[in-house]
Chains A and B, each alone.
Chain A
Amino acid sequence: MTLIDELGAWLADPTHWTGPDGMVTRLLEHVALSGACLGLAIAIALPIGLWIGHTGRGAAGVIRAANIGQALPTLGVIGIVLPLTANIEPYGFDLIPSIVALVALAIPPIVTNTYAGLRQVDPEAVEAGRGMGMRELQLLRLVEVPLALPSVLAGLRISAVQVVATATLAAVLGAGGLGRLIIDGIAQQDDAQLFMGAVLVAILAIATELAFAGLQRIAISPGLRGRVQAARGSAADV
Chain B
Amino acid sequence: MPPGEPLLRPDWVVNNLDVIGERLGEHLGMTATAVGVGFVISFALALMIRRHRALTTAVIGAAGILYAVPSLALFAFLIPFTGISFVTAEIALVSYTLLILVRNILLGLESVPPDVLEAADGMGYTSRQRLWRVELPIALPIIVAGLRIATVTTIGLVTVTSLIGQGGLGYLIVVAGINAFFPTAIYVGALLSVALAVAADALLLAAQRRLTPWSSARGGTA
Contact = CB atoms under 8 A, between A and B. Distances in A.
Instruction: Describe A's contact surface by its main secondary structure.
Output: helix
A209 B68 contact: yes
Nearest to A84: B7
A83 B186 contact: yes
A72 B187 CA distance: 13
Contact of B186 (A68, A72, A82, A202): A82
Given A165-B71, A202-B69, A73 B155 contact: yes
A198 B198 contact: no
B100 to A, nearest CB: 8
A172 B163 contact: yes
B41 interface: no
Interface residues of A, number: 43
Interface stretch (B42-50, B125-133, B189-197): B189-197
B94 to A, nearest CB: 18
A35 B219 CA distance: 37
B74 interface: yes
Contacts of A80: 186-187, 190-191
Interface in B116-159: 145, 149, 152, 155-157, 159
Interface string A143-181: 000000000000000000100111011001100000100
Contacts of A198: 69, 72-74, 76-77
B186 A205 contact: no
Contact of B159 (A73, A161, A183): A73
Interface in B40-97: 65, 68-77, 79-80, 84
Instruction: Describe B's contact surface by its main secondary structure.
Output: helix
Contacts of A87: 1, 3
Given A71-B201, A75-B160, A76-B193, A205 B79 contact: no
A101 B156 CA distance: 13
Interface stretch (A11-19, A134-142, A189-197, A220-228): A189-197
A90 to B, nearest CB: 15
Given A73-B197, A165-B71, A182-B73, 20 more contacts: A70-B152, A71-B152, A71-B198, A73-B159, A74-B156, A76-B190, A79-B174, A82-B183, A83-B1, A83-B7, A83-B186, A164-B70, A165-B68, A166-B70, A172-B174, A186-B79, A186-B164, A194-B79, A195-B77, A197-B73
Interface of A: 3, 68, 70-80, 82-84, 86-87, 161, 164-166, 168-169, 172-173, 179, 182-183, 185-186, 191, 194-195, 197-199, 201-202, 205-206, 209, 237
